[in-house]
Structure 1
């Protein structure tokens, strides 16, 4: 698909899809509902996307790509591994707390998708996992984290923890401040990774 035709319209459709899918669920979100929310004709959607699944994958690629890029830029400026980790957790929680629709789509709706779609989503997440690995490696290099850690398990533990906390926050209808969890989550993760005396 040639998304260079009209980038603002493409972004309009992506943003509309986030809202429609969050409010109606992926399966009940017809392309016509997304088009109406975006303020475009149904046919316009097909100038940018093959089908509804393509919209969902593109939405995740766009939003998660932007998300990863912002976190990468922020943590590059930090030298201390624990501060890098704090920033990663804080930005993860902040981004989703600021966009409830996106949080619902990423935490709930994407989980109900087909195996093929989940594989495409995992491709996007690879960049995030690499970033977590780099933060953990920095902690090991700085003598803050254990040097014999199982990298894959640590990555799954960190991502899984953040993911589950956001999912729980959504399931509880955002009844508490997600961002206030940052320090406690950081402390738990750091305690698990720290060099034992």
Structure 2
């Protein structure tokens, strides 16, 4: 009787192995055989799940952004600007800084692929829509100033936070520095949004 394999579990195992190989050897130096060996399987089995190293990279990008999306989606919809700001702090924990740095170090080579740009762009479009949906009732309630539209404010917030995280990840920061800069940025952001 053939062994029943959980496809999703196997894909996760392969992605973990790919990430380990990319970390150890770099994206360009890693071969599919290396990933198969790290995952404890034959190269042919690996190809049943991912047809190329580029497919692995795209799946890693997708998983990275799905994890962030799930974390942000789990934060309750805010009823006040203070609650929104608390949610932003929760969505940007200092312990994610290493993961973000890793994201650029390991997955950065794939950014030139238009499919990668679609995944990344899709996440940020979702994030702006998510924030805009939260801003609209806050504007109506007078929690956020009414002279800016929900969509424009959401896109500005998304860009500012993305810039902050990228800057801190690329140029290095310890947890205390990250928290201080994050909190300063969020304080300025809150002051600009307050109605």
Give the shorter-chain TM-score range: 0.7 to 0.9
Deviation at 1:150, TM superposition (A): 4.2
Taking the aligned partners of 2:34 and 2:57, their CA distance within structure 1 comes to 14
Deviation at 1:94, TM superposition (A): 4.3
CA deviations over 1:121-157 (Å, ceiling 9, x no partner): 3224433222221232233122121223144442332
Deviation at 1:25, TM superposition (A): 4.2
Deviation at 1:69, TM superposition (A): 1.8
Taking the aligned partners of 1:94 and 1:175, their CA distance within structure 2 comes to 8
- Is there any run of 5+ residues in structure 1 with no aligned partner, and where? none
Check the 8 A contact 1:18/1:102 in 2, yes or no.
no
Q: Tell me the equivalent position of 1:184.
A: 184
Tell me how many residue pairs correspond in the alignment.
189
Q: Normalised by the size of structure 2, how large is the TM-score?
A: 0.77
Q: Tell me the equivalent position of 2:131.
A: 132
CA RMSD of aligned residues (A): 2.9
**Is 1:48 paired with 2:49?**
yes
**Is 1:84 paired with 2:57?**
no
Q: Normalised by the size of structure 1, how large is the TM-score?
A: 0.76
Q: 1:61 to 1:191 in 2, by over 3 A?
A: same
Taking the aligned partners of 1:143 and 1:33, their CA distance within structure 2 comes to 56
Taking the aligned partners of 1:5 and 1:146, their CA distance within structure 2 comes to 50
